[in-house]
Amino acid sequence: MKVLVTGGLGQIGSHVVEMLLERGDEVVAIDNLATGRREHLAEHDKLRVVIDTIANKELVDQLVSNFRPDAIVHTAASYKDPDDWYNDTLTNCVGGANMVDAAKKFGVGRFVYFQTALCYGLHPLQQPIRLDHPRLPSSSSYSISKTTNEFYLELSGLDYVTFRLANVVGPRNVAGPLPIFYQRLKDGKQCFVTQARRDFVFVKDLARVVVKACDGVGHGAYHFSSGQDIAIQELYDAVVNAMDLPSKPHAEVKELGPDDVFSILLDPSRTFEDFGDIQFTPLQETVSAAIEYYKQHGTLGEYTHLRLQDKQ
């Protein structure tokens, strides 16, 4: 196959690219290096890496027209600053619409998209959340812009899969509590946790399912979720264990912030029906793999979509 991967140097994109190359596919990866890193992908004779933005419509049309991919895997997303509406809309809306439009224009057979679970809002009406839950993304610029592009994809008439995601963690993870916990513990700083619960899934488990989607498995919206949530405290404990800190520092427990939510647990039943049994990697193994990555490469900023005065 020939596959174009946006955000190809980021956490999800780079793992998907590696799996595609391992089986002999030809890949073009585009990334603007906002959160991706060039060292995430080794040189390969079937890989072309383009450092640019998907907001560049002329470039996007040229890449898709010349490469003629069988599938587009669209992982690129802006999420670094909750108040940076310009870059969120530039990448997630303009760039995303460019990708969908080019896929239509040049006959791409399959489009794989990634959506945030925050599309259901901060106070979900169901627990766990089913795919028939209304989309209520107005809590953040990130969720608004990601949901906007999901609507464009649905409008397009393309053969698509959209994965609405639990918290994807592991090596190359630069957003959310995992890199924040690591960096603060490494610097000897106090961490805090809330009573929130999340479903943490290993990035390589997701990437394997994405490759199946490239091959034509499934159609429409899916939840990528283990179906089980855990306390943020358990994630913190796993980081402490992976770092083998002799002092075993305790995290301060704080109340949920105004733009945080107690639990976002997605119902994955349709995913299991269409993609088969998924063997989810245990949390401690997932966290340990991430910590090994941070020790070698650092955390690259510890981003969060939340508006917090002191992130951890």
Written as one string, the DSSP assignment of 64-113 is HHHH--SEEEE-----S-TT-HHHHIIIIIIIHHHHHHHHHHTT-SEEEE
Residue 46, helix vs strand vs coil? coil
In the chain, count H helices and then E strands: 10, 14
From first to last of the 312 residues of the chain, give the pLDDT tens digit: 999 999 999 999 999 999 999 999 999 999 999 999 999 999 999 999 999 999 999 999 999 999 999 999 999 999 888 899 999 999 999 999 999 999 999 999 999 999 999 999 988 999 999 999 999 999 999 999 999 999 999 999 999 999 999 999 999 998 889 999 999 999 999 999 999 999 999 999 999 999 999 999 999 999 999 999 999 999 999 999 999 998 999 999 999 887 778 888 999 999 999 999 999 999 999 999 999 999 999 997 655 544 443 444
What is the rounded radius of gyration, in angstroms, for the C-alpha atoms of the chain? 19
Class of the 2-169+200-224 domain? alpha beta
Give the predicted TM-score (pTM) of the model. 0.94
How does 104-113 read in b/e, with b if 16+ C-beta sit within 10 Å?
Answer: eebebebbbb
Q: Given the DSSP bridges, would you call strands 110-116 and 200-202 parallel, antiparallel or unpaired? A: unpaired
Distance CA 92, CA 79 (A): 9
Read off φ and ψ for residue 48, nearest 5 degrees: -120, 125
- Count, residues in the chain: 312
Quick one: three-class SS letters along 129-183? ECCCCCCCCCCCHHHHHHHHHHHHHHHHCCCEEEEEECEEECCCCCECHHHHHHH
Domain range summary for the chain, segments of one domain joined by +: 2-169+200-224
**Nearest CA to 116 among 98, 97, 140, 91?**
140
In this prediction, residue 302 carries a pLDDT of 53
In this prediction, residue 256 carries a pLDDT of 87
**Nearest CA to 189 among 117, 249, 259, 273?**
249
Distance CA 128, CA 188 (A): 37
Distance CA 291, CA 285 (A): 10
In this prediction, residue 81 carries a pLDDT of 87
Residue 273, helix vs strand vs coil? helix
Q: How many CB atoms lie within 10 A of CB 215?
A: 13
Hey, which residues are catalytic here?
142
Tokens 């027209």 correspond to 65
HSE on the CB side for 174, CA within 13 Å?
22
Distance CA 20, CA 46 (A): 10
In this prediction, residue 310 carries a pLDDT of 42
Distance CA 85, CA 82 (A): 7
